[in-house]
Chains A and B, each alone.
Chain A
Amino acid sequence: MSEKTTGQIEVLGRRIHEIHATPSGPRGAPKLLYLHSAMGEATWLTPHLNALAERVELFAPAHPGFLTSEGLDEIRDVEDLVYHYLAYLDAKRWDSVAVMGVSLGGWIAAELAARYPERVSKLVLVSSVGIWLREKPIADLFAIDGRHPERLRELLFHDQSSPFAQALGVELSGLPDEVVANFMNAMAATAKIGWNPLLHDPRLDALLPRITADTLVIWGANDRVVPLEYGEIFAKRIPRARLEVVRNCGHMLPLEQQARFLEIATPFITA
């Protein structure tokens, strides 16, 4: 079990929504900064975050524009988010911390670790965007027709019958306004930095060798949004990186293969 609080913190004058969860056992669990995907899963505690928080002290802030987090007006590109999280680390008075990023969050984590290697003690990249392979383009989630929610599900999940996959296959117009508004805000905040170039920074590939942290790259073998080749490139370019491939798994890896995800990620973070 863990104890969690949801609150607001201030970063560069922006009020930021944050979940903070601590294992209920003895003190001294390692800290983990979790950077969420475009789904905004830091806005509620999904099972994988709950499970992680049994072993680590988890900090999961919502990026500007997600849920009630302010400051999207001042974010023009991913570089502005790097400075946002640099200020976040300063606000916490952390010299360095272990950072895990999923998909969109992985991109931000990789940028932060490449530009300010001394601030990231360990790095976990899960199904991360941020670089571009011309032969294997990242799928354009922005182009998915709202009338066909099942297409989003097909892209994000390998097993279409999993509970999370099923929850995604509903039409927006059938959901409560608040849920729809959160979804629209999440997509708008993602598009603000990732519309063009699509969810990547052309400079990042060349910066990856700057990363000094021990790095774990986790990828679904059947990722249809960011194909496995991206995971291979991240693991190749980052000097102290190792790649773990999860079989029978799509893009939303921590949701679709939660047990495997925890088996791989937890020992790395707590070691």
Chain B
Amino acid sequence: MKHFLFHLMPYRDLPADFEKKHDSAWVWIPNELFDPERGHRYYNDYLDELAEAETLGFDGVCINEHHQNAYGLMPSPNLIAAMLVMRTRRIKIAVVGNALPLYDPPTRVAEEIAMLDCISGGRIISGQVIGGGPEYFSFSINPAEARTRFAEAHEIIMRAWTQPGPFEFYGEHYKLRYVNTWPKPLQKPHPPIWIPGAGSVETMQFVAKRRYAYMGIPYFHIDFFKRNYAMFREICESECGYRAHPEQMGLLMPVYVAETDAKAREEFEEHFWYFRNKLIPGLTLSPPGYTSVKSALRVLRAMRDGKTWINSCESWDDVERGCFAIVGSPQTVAQKIVEHARQIGCGNMLALLQLGNMPHAKARENARRYADAVIPLVNKEIGNPAEPMPAAIPFPDEAGAR
């Protein structure tokens, strides 16, 4: 099993009455609430937490991109990756991901990831995402173009990394006369590609067909994940004719470890509620046209009918039942990870070890306990896969003809 330390870099000091005065921590959250002195401390705390993952023995770290919000202070994950490249020597740095439609031209992503991959000696994982609903408000990009922009941008980037340049790309959204990316990535044919999804079959097919890795969007009920990963494995097998490799799947989950179950909950619970009450609302903003009406209806029904989404948690019982966080002694945490990972079939555990307003010292201690006590227990049960992860399918050339 591979273990990644995932960080969101949240704003830790929103006022106690924040959720009474504001609808959400996204897009329209007044930026008067951002205190740069605190920002200075957060960034340095969080960079220390991420860099320390290497000495603790993690396989890698994950960072991601969000804009105009208090949930995650990483509008530019590539900047953070650049700092981490210089502070680590061994671990993978997964940028999960760059929101491709927000880069115009998207060759910018091809360039920056290639730079990072060269400098780091081939340690970059390139996550590529459509960007969240809130981002379409923050960037004033038409949400109706989210999917087609993503598809074109992805094609440009993959071809920029793998096909001889210069070449011309004339799409619906991007019209580039000369694509000729210097530098190119060190990893061949290109860095691993991770794509997150929230259960749409189209995304799973896209990932399965190209042998990329699929990462479930977090904060859903565990049964929802299990259904989704079963569907992903099924698509790999029936539509693409291969068994999904464990490292093609990652489970992202808040995790907290203490000496005992009781102590873990006592130390962790307030941070969960800060996260759920203040930072999550707004994350699911879905501007018109961002998803198909079919998917939008499915989400609406799921929210209406069941306790599928993190915001349905009213009590600690709800959290435990839906496994919205894995919290307990090293034995409890390891046993749950093993159970879920076996059922899901995933070979990557992406542990969110700092959550909400969890202070620096506590987050470090949590990561240390996870590395020292949980990783060995989990890895005793789930070893490394017999076969290494196969390379992605080379990017199809058919579009090049157009």
Binding site for B on A (CB under 8 A): 142-143, 145, 147-148, 172-173, 177, 180-181, 184-185, 187-188, 190-192, 195-196
Instruction: List, in ascending order, chain B residues with CB within 8 A of A173's CB.
Output: 300, 303-304
Inter-chain CA distance A147–B300, complex, in Å, is: 12
Q: Is B287 an interface residue (CB 8 A)?
A: yes
CB-CB under 8 A from B144, the residues of chain A are 188, 191-192, 195
**Does B16 interact with chain A (Cβ within 8 Å)?**
no
Q: A145-B24, A184-B297, A195-B143 given. 6 additional CB < 8 A pairs?
A: A145-B285, A185-B293, A187-B288, A188-B289, A191-B142, A195-B288
Which residues of B are at the interface with A, using a C-beta cutoff of 8 A?
A: 23-24, 27-28, 137, 140-144, 285, 287-289, 293, 296-297, 300-301, 303-304
Evaluate contact between A177 and B297: CB separation under 8 angstroms: yes
For the A-B complex, the count of residue pairs with Cβ-Cβ distances under 8 Å equals: 52
**Contact in complex: B137, A143 (CB < 8 Å):** yes
Residues of A within 8 A of B143 (CB): 191, 195
Q: CB within 8 A of A180: which of B23, B141, B300? A: B300
**9 A-B residue pairs with CB within 8 Å:** A143-B28, A173-B304, A180-B297, A185-B293, A188-B288, A191-B142, A191-B287, A195-B142, A195-B144
**Which listed residue (B137, B140, B293) contacts A184, Cβ 8 A?**
B293
Please, which residues of chain A bring their CB within 8 A of the CB of B140?
195-196
Q: Is the interface of A mostly helix, strand, loop or mixed?
A: helix
> Which residue from A142, A177, A180, A185 sits with its C-beta under 8 Å from B287?
A142
B142 contact set on A, CB distance < 8 A? 191-192, 195-196
Which chain A residues lie closer than 8 Å to B287 at the CB level? Answer: 142, 191, 195
The reply to whether B288 and A184 contact each other, CB–CB distance below 8 Å, is yes
A146 to B, closest residue via Cβ: B286
Chain B residues lying within 8 Å of A184, measured Cβ to Cβ, are 288, 293, 296-297
Residues of chain B contacted by A188 (CB below 8 angstroms) = 144, 288-289, 293
Known: A145-B23, A196-B141. A191 touches B300 (CB 8 A): no
A190: chain B residues at CB < 8 Å are 288
CA of A142 to CA of B28 in the docked complex: distance in angstroms?
13
Instruction: Report Cα–Cα, A25/B141, bound state, in Å.
Output: 51
Please give the distance in Å from B21's CB to the nearest CB on chain A. Answer: 14
Complex contact B297–A181 (CB within 8 A): yes
Q: How far is the CB of A175 from chain B (nearest CB, A)?
A: 10
On chain B, the residues within 8 Å of A191 by CB distance are 142-144, 287-289
Shortest CB-to-CB span from B283 to chain A, Å, is: 13
Q: Across the two chains, which residue of chain A brings its CB closest to B300?
A: A173
- Report which residue of B140, B144, B285, B303 has the largest number of chain A beta carbons within 10 angstroms of its beta carbon: B144
- Measured CB to CB, the closest approach of chain B to A176, in angstroms, equals 11
**Closest A residue by C-beta to B28:** A143
Residues of A within 8 A of B296 (CB): 184
